[in-house]
Structure 1
Amino acid sequence: MLDLLGHSDEARIGEIAASYATSRSEADADSERRFRDLLQALPAAVYTTDADGRITFFNRACVDFAGRTPKIGEMWCVTWKLYLPDGTPLPHDECPMAIALRQNRPVRDVEAVAERPDGSRICFMPYPTPLRDKRGRLVGAVNMLVDITARKQAEQRMMLLTSEVDHRSNNLLAVAQAMLRLTKADTAEEFQAAFQGRLSALANVQRLFSASRWTGANLKTIVEEELRPYASRDGERIRIAGDDVHLPPTLAQSIAVALHELATNAAKYGSLSTPSGTLEIRWATNDAEPLVLHWSESGGPRVNAPPTRRGFGVGAIDGIIRTLRGKVTRQWKPEGLVCELSFPEVAA
């Protein structure tokens, strides 16, 4: 057939073939350009290597991820230093990308830690995947690095919170068991009322802990919550004075129980048992005694002598103060009880 074509026809065929080759080359270049633009737009760090592990491409997210600008031709990874999750150094020639190329297989479900030149670290999961030509021969690999730092931090916070909740629940159960064992009453009704009141005091302070994410509670809030049932509308029956001191959980819980016992005693026998009775609570902090709380009753039944019966409330307060290495003093004045609680440790 070519014998039938003239010279001009052969030249025309050559021009068409050259034009086709040029168009295809331009199409391939355009396709590769669009592919690289797509990789640059991805928020995840993506890079490629040749079959020997030399970096051939990296997107802008790799720079942000690694905290540095990698160099084309570097080996294995765009990061500066690598570590296993337990902190053991991970040589680059043993990193997941090196394994994927050496074993000619994708590597999944592994975690690593990358260190930037400034010393900051990132927890991440790599996804190295071999690249092969049409004949199935290994020509390189592509890797995507997914930052999981936020997830790992959330997991650590959850573990700490779980441990704290476990500790608090065990402590709370121990306190409840002690209250149950030591609560005394002449009748079942009196026992129920006394025990329920003490549990309510614990529940109130636990609610405050929950609101503060278990960092503690404010002393003023504890005092106000515990004495709210006894307050008058004009606010004159109970006077509270003191800065709003933030207490760590153990101290806050102990003071809540102590205040409940003092309030219960005052409601039964002291100033809160009569309409004319008043109560003043004030506290202060200083270098000698970081926290000193004064409880002063007046206007209730006249006190002729200190009580001879030592109830659970007195024992609970004394036990709490001793546990916290604090001190308690009581004065049974004719006008009412004056009690002072001091605690050597306040800081959370």
Structure 2
Amino acid sequence: MNVELSEGGAREWAAQALQTSPRMLDVLPVAAYACDSEGRIRWFNRRAAELWGREPEVDADEERFCGAHRLLDDENRPVAHAATPMAFSLRTGRETHGTEITIVRPDGSSTVVEVHTAAITDQDGQVVGAINCFHEITRQREAERKFRAVERHARDLLEALPAAIYTTDAEGRIVSFNQASVRLWGIEPEIGATRWCGSQALFWPDGRSMAFDECPMAVAIQTRQAIQGAEAALGRPDGRRVPFLAYPMPLFDDAGQLSGAVNMLVDITELKAGEAALAESEARQRAILQTTPECVKIVGPNGHLRYMNAAGLEMIGADDYAQVEGVRVIDLVAPEHRAAWQEHHDRVCSGEQLAWEFDLIGLRGERRSMETHGAALALADGRLAQLAVSRDVTARKRAFEHQQFLINELNHRVKNTLAIVQGLAQQSFRDLPRDLREGFSGRLGALAVAHDLLTREQWQGAALQDVVHGVLAGHGGWDPARLRTEGPNLAVAPQRAVSLAMALHELCTNAIKYGALSNRTGQVDLCWAVEADRLLRLRWEERGGPPVGEPARRGFGTRMIEHGLARELGGSASISFRPEGLVCVIETPLDGPARTAPGSGTA
């Protein structure tokens, strides 16, 4: 405000005000100085000199309007002394208030001050000078700058967060929100008007409509209590319904009065979809486990039962899972199989995948034979348990045992029949030459060898090596140096096994009587291999025996090999009577791909 002077003392007061600084101004924390109407500095106090960083010359034409070294505006642009608030008040006679300006001292340091100026006039209203009071606001402006930076950082942080965050005043009116909120709501609320939540509609988790004043944000403000993870759903303008979790928290001022609230909304659409998919998967797996006829169980590393499906409970005679939960599975295993079961269980819990059989004894004493397949299953604590699928093979084993009994009984009866036939032949043919009787008996023996081999394999076939060795053994064994065999240990069908046994018997009998094995130096090579198109080719070649000539007539053995057995084998058989030794080649197709019999490689 301008200083008005009365007629009586105006001139004297104005002269004194511009002449010297009142002493009390030196003890004040504010800076002050006065200029005459020409802008020459008439006086300044101690604080003014401190802020300027210098002491200007009083009443000097060079020191006009301000004692600062340099001045800058709020955009760091230079300010001429003639453009300062002091110059303005001297020129116009008007006051200035709150002008911010930066003082640059001679040493380069600076400070921000807030300036207030007032003109001094005489009784005629003429401006005779002005007074400037200014004070330092550097710390205040620095604090405001830091606050703005923090506020900007917080705003940027909120915008960067994927969660929807918004704030309201104490009445629930929305005062701020981030873009994630807009993306979630699908609509932008009106600041200061929209209350409680910015969505178009709200729903309870069960799908019922929710009033806005019942939403988590409204409840938090009304009760002045924070809420953690309240579930609800919002309706968007596009018709979508979005489930979310709300985390509203009331805000209070320094006096403890409610000032507003902040809320974070977390979209749980994917979580809900995952939960639904997981529930569907679990239901599907439960249905599979409960309907499968096999026993499915989980056995912990300590051997205690952790899970068993309905089929398994039925197998052990349990009414429900609670009856056997946590029992030691080994206690249900037949005593003679417990050691093996424990070994296999430990190996599975070490990471192996195994299959084995054992007998179990149920809660009601019923014994069952089980075929189980176990694999390691990782538990939540990192240990491995046994996940096992077990099949009740009691009926299968009993059927197999019964079948084996019938086969053995049949084998026994066939042997008895062959023995009876052999006895009848010896009695009936006793008047015939000995070689005829022995030939018939030998053929019966070869037939018995093939029958024994097939019986041992449940008439599924026989290993060709076993057929060869069995026939040769029937002739009192053989010297590998004189009779060499070579070929893969193929599995042959039952009929071919019988036919080949009969053929080899005839060849071996002929070699011992007339051929390479009738002296001490002859040798026989018996080789076989599988050629193209699944063709088995067997070659019997003699050398070093007595000279061989074409017989005048074909004997029974030759006719049987070349004609009868060739037809039965579905192939061909030829015998060559070379001078150096007899050669027989038999070719027969295999029933399927060449299959190696278990037990060995080649003969």
Distance in 2, matches of 1:56 and 1:339, equals 70
Q: How does 1:29-44 map to 2 (within 5 A)?
A: 44=316
- The residue identity in structure 2 corresponding to 1:231 is W
- Is the counterpart of residue 231 in structure 1 residue 503 in structure 2? no
Structure 2 equivalent of residue 320 of structure 1:
565
- Is the counterpart of residue 261 in structure 1 residue 528 in structure 2? no
* Residues 411, 455 of structure 2: 8 Å contact kept: no
Describe the superposition over 1:318-344 as per-residue Cα deviations: whole angstroms up to 9, x where unpaired: 312211211112211111211101110
Higher strand share: 2
Tell me how far 1:200 sits from its aligned partner. Answer: 1.9
Distance in 2, matches of 1:319 and 1:174, equals 23
* Residues 524, 542 of structure 2: 8 Å contact kept: yes
Structure 2 equivalent of residue 344 of structure 1:
589
Structure 2 equivalent of residue 194 of structure 1:
439
SS at match of 1:343: strand
Distance in 1, matches of 2:419 and 2:564, equals 14
Structure 1 equivalent of residue 452 of structure 2:
207
Return the match for 1:46 from 318, 325, 333.
Answer: 318
Bigger radius of gyration among the two: 2
* Residues 562, 572 of structure 2: 8 Å contact kept: no
- The residue identity in structure 1 corresponding to 2:570 is R
Distance in 2, matches of 1:298 and 1:184, equals 34
Distance in 2, matches of 1:332 and 1:56, equals 78
Distance in 1, matches of 2:402 and 2:316, equals 28
Structure 1 equivalent of residue 400 of structure 2:
157
- The residue identity in structure 1 corresponding to 2:398 is E
Structure 2 equivalent of residue 246 of structure 1:
491
Change (3 A) 1:153 1:246: same
SS at match of 2:481: coil
Structure 2 equivalent of residue 132 of structure 1:
none
Describe the superposition over 1:72-96 as per-residue Cα deviations: whole angstroms up to 9, x where unpaired: xxxxxxxxxxxxxxxxxxxxxxxxx
Tell me how far 1:192 sits from its aligned partner. Answer: 2.9
More relative contact order, 1 or 2 (CA 8 Å, 6+ apart): 1
Distance in 2, matches of 1:196 and 1:172, equals 13
SS at match of 1:283: strand
* Structure 1 unaligned residues grouped into runs of 5+: 1-41, 48-54, 65-125, 127-142
Distance in 1, matches of 2:419 and 2:540, equals 25
Change (3 A) 1:173 1:325: farther
Change (3 A) 1:200 1:175: closer
Q: How does 1:8-157 map to 2 (within 5 A)?
A: 44-47=316-319, 59-60=324-325, 149-157=392-400
* Residues 45, 60 of structure 1: 8 Å contact kept: no
Tell me how far 1:165 sits from its aligned partner. Answer: 6.2
Q: What value does the CA root-mean-square deviation take over the aligned residues?
A: 4.3
Structure 2 equivalent of residue 220 of structure 1:
465
Change (3 A) 1:341 1:185: farther
Percentage identity across paired residues of the two chains: 28
How many equivalent pairs are there? 221
Q: Which runs of structure 1 show a deviation greater than 6 angstroms over 4 or more consecutive aligned residues?
A: 165-181, 183-186
Structure 1 equivalent of residue 538 of structure 2:
293
* Residues 184, 312 of structure 1: 8 Å contact kept: no
- The residue identity in structure 2 corresponding to 1:156 is A
Distance in 2, matches of 1:336 and 1:307, equals 17
Structure 1 equivalent of residue 194 of structure 2:
none
Higher helix share: 1
Change (3 A) 1:167 1:150: same
Tell me how far 1:285 sits from its aligned partner. Answer: 0.4
Return the match for 1:305 from 547, 550, 566.
Answer: 550
Change (3 A) 1:300 1:343: same
* Residues 566, 573 of structure 2: 8 Å contact kept: yes
* Structure 2 unaligned residues grouped into runs of 5+: 1-312, 330-361, 369-391, 596-603
